Amino acid sequence: MQLSQRIQQLTPSLTLAIDAKAKELQRQGADVVNLGAGEPDFDTPAPVVEAAHQAALAGKTKYTPTAGIPELRSAIAARVSKTHGIAVDAAEIVVSNGAKQALYNALQAVVNPGDDVLVFAPYWVSYPDMIALAGGRMVPVAVHEGSFEPNLAALEESCTARTRGLILNSPTNPTGAVYSRETIEAIVDFARRKDLWILSDEMYELLVYDGAKHVSPSQIGAEGRARTLMASGFSKSFAMTGWRCGYLVAPKQVASAVATLQGQMTTNVNTPTQWAALAALDLDDSVMGAMVKEFGERRRLLVRGMSEILRGRAPVHEPRGAFYLMQDVRPFLGKRFRDRPLRDDRELGEALLDSALVATVPGSAFAAPGFIRLSYATSRENLQKAVARMGAFLNELA
């Protein structure tokens, strides 16, 4: 049987594949430390679970409006209005199966076959495939080594008559960079001059450390507001990955088109999940605050631990947001672990998993060859164990 060209161009999500492999090894009894997929290890807060339970018991198990229950759309609009300091209407919100579907929907709504979409590299694994599914072409744009902040000169050079928009993801998966206000302002100005959409993936908006501030392009004047399609969700900020709930904030015309698309694809997000998400927005800020504080501590622990085991052999770039550390492993490539050649980051990552039982994601999955991504959304104990194992692994390289 011949599969469609559309499907044949896809590659499986490597973050999900590694997570599945690590979890399968754990199921078989292996003591794997999983620094692979970015998934908070915290349980979903109890009031959120309780809200889903009560909703289901109360018969809230039927189809809802495709774009989401009015209560949730209004609560998201109110929340974004408050956090971003902009006036957002419930009609601008579409609730989707994770931010993943929100991003997919947005690209389907604004990208035509043959359009270019600019994406800062390193980038999250799903953008290239989502753009391809919309018939577009992804154009990677370089960032500055070390800070991982966008290279604005490269951005200008990458833009052509075919460019339709750009994807912005700050705080960034996989680098942990949090773009400065000046950078966001420059990007909005660029989008205005070139007449582009900005698809702003704000999945990690709450996860910033050391006084770093999340700035959204939607906050940069009327131009920023009008051009931004903003995706975010509950997975990371509220420890709700498996519930599958995210949303898009977009101008009404786009939001309505997206709801039509979703109505032909998946309909509404699971009904009890929507009530759970509503309860999540009602949580006291201290609940999230405690999680963010803990991620901050883990980040410190991982950065310190990596610096200790690397002993200057490779730089450690301290992330300021999300829960990832992109570790440069280029100085170790070309060496051998026991008899295994470590020619690239993939081989190094595989050897690390097979021999040291530490799951990581190779940087080449994010267009950052020579790096590995470590997720610190796991316990301090696990991080300590992972650092010790990686240290022993590196010391054995010859």
Q: Which does 233 bind (CB under 5 to 8 A by kind): ligand PMP, ligand GLU, none?
A: ligand PMP
Does residue 125 touch ligand GLU according to CB under 6 A?
yes
Does residue 171 touch ligand PMP according to CB under 6 A?
no
Of residues 257 through 286, those in contact with ligand PMP by CB under 6 A are none
Q: Are strands 361-362 and 358-359 parallel, antiparallel or unpaired?
A: unpaired
Q: Which is nearer to ligand PMP, 173 or 351 (CB)?
A: 173
Q: Which amino acid does the sequence have at 268?
A: N
Of residues 236 through 255, those in contact with ligand PMP by CB under 6 A are 241, 246
Sequence-ordered list of residues with C-beta below 8 angstroms from that of 57, at least 6 positions apart, any chain: none
- Token representation of residue 235: 């997975």
Does residue 245 touch ligand GLU according to CB under 6 A?
no
Please list the residues that pair with 121 across neighbouring strands: 142
Environment class of residue 58 by beta-carbon count within 10 Å: exposed (0-12), middle (13-18) or buried (19+)? exposed
Residue the block writes with tokens 């109110």: 78
Q: How many of the chain's residues bind ligand GLU (CB under 6 A)?
A: 9
Does residue 307 touch ligand GLU according to CB under 6 A?
no
Q: Where are the beta strands (DSSP E) in 26-174?
A: 33-34, 93-96, 116-121, 137-142, 163-168
Sequence-ordered list of residues with C-beta below 8 angstroms from that of 194, at least 6 positions apart, any chain: 159, 163
Q: Which amino acid does the sequence have at 52?
A: A
Per CB under 6 A, the segment of 118-126, 205-213, 226-234, 340-348 that binds ligand GLU is: 118-126
Q: Which does 305 bind (CB under 5 to 8 A by kind): ligand PMP, ligand GLU, none?
A: none
Site string for ligand GLU, 3-22 (x = CB under 6 A): ----------x-xx------
Q: Which does 13 bind (CB under 5 to 8 A by kind): ligand PMP, ligand GLU, none?
A: ligand GLU
d(CA 253, CA 256): 5
Site string for ligand PMP, 151-170 (x = CB under 6 A): ------------------x-
Residue 276 region by backbone torsions, left for phi larger than 0, else alpha for psi between -120 and 50, else beta: alpha
Residue number with the shortest CB distance to ligand PMP?
98
Environment class of residue 181 by beta-carbon count within 10 Å: exposed (0-12), middle (13-18) or buried (19+)? exposed
Site string for ligand PMP, 86-105 (x = CB under 6 A): ------------xxx-----
Does residue 93 touch ligand GLU according to CB under 6 A?
no
What values do phi and psi take at 308, rounded to 5? -65, -45
Does residue 228 touch ligand GLU according to CB under 6 A?
no
The DSSP output letter for 31 is -
What is the maximum span of the chain, computed from C-alpha positions, in angstroms? 63
Does residue 364 touch ligand GLU according to CB under 6 A?
no
Q: How many helices (H) and strands (E) does the chain have?
A: 14, 14
Q: Which is nearer to ligand PMP, 124 or 179 (CB)?
A: 124
Of residues 144 through 173, those in contact with ligand GLU by CB under 6 A are 173
Site string for ligand PMP, 186-205 (x = CB under 6 A): ---------------x-x--
- Footprint of ligand GLU on this chain (CB under 6 A)? 13, 15-16, 37-38, 124-126, 173
Task: Give the residues lining the site for ligand PMP (CB under 6 A).
Answer: 38, 98-100, 124, 169, 173, 201, 203, 233, 235, 241, 246
